[in-house]
């Protein structure tokens, strides 16, 4: 007997690789992950910002991404009130500039491949007849 999955409770992390575009659809809002345990002799790291997404490159696999501070800032500035949810994006982790402590990212909204693209309506052309009466 086959069972239909209702909800995936454990999501894999989709990692970003330098200069490799990832195409994702946000299925939920960005949220803080669980607090990190401190390593011996070190302070605990701040919890990561996570977001549930669909990986459009691998056939709509459900997963989550760690949202870098740069990407978080871009999405919150350009899509207030979590308006990025339900939208698709190409996100590219770029090479770290010398002397910088963070990686720059490129973020672009893309068409949802699951939604049909509406073509402009075309009026049928009226046949023109040449000649005089």
pLDDT exceeds cutoff 90 at 25: yes
pLDDT exceeds cutoff 90 at 6: no
* Nearest Cα to Cα of residue 14 among 5, 23, 3: 23
pTM: 0.77
Rounded Cα distance between 49 and 46, Å, is 9
Q: Sign of dihedral through CA atoms 90, 13, 56, 76? A: negative
- Find tokens 């049909």 and name the residue: 116
Could you read off the pLDDT of 46-76 as tens digits, one per residue?
Answer: 899 999 999 999 876 889 999 999 999 999 9
- Find tokens 């949810």 and name the residue: 85
Instruction: Give the DSSP H or E segment for 55.
Output: strand 49-55
pLDDT exceeds cutoff 70 at 35: yes
* H helices, E strands: number in the chain: 1, 6
């Amino acid at each position: 007997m086959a069972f239909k999955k209702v909800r995936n409770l454990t999501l894999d992390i989709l990692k970003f690789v330098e200069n490799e575009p990832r195409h994702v659809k946000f299925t939920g809002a960005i949220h803080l992950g669980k607090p990190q345990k401190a390593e011996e002799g070190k302070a605990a790291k701040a919890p990561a910002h996570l977001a549930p997404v669909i990986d459009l490159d691998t056939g709509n696999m459900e997963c989550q991404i760690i949202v870098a501070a740069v990407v978080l800032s871009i999405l919150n500035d350009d899509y207030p009130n979590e308006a990025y949810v339900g939208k698709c994006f190409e996100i590219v982790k770029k090479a770290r500039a010398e002397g910088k402590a963070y990686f720059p990212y490129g973020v672009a909204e893309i068409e949802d491949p699951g939604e049909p693209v509406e073509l402009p309506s075309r009026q049928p052309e009226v046949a023109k007849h040449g000649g005089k009466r």
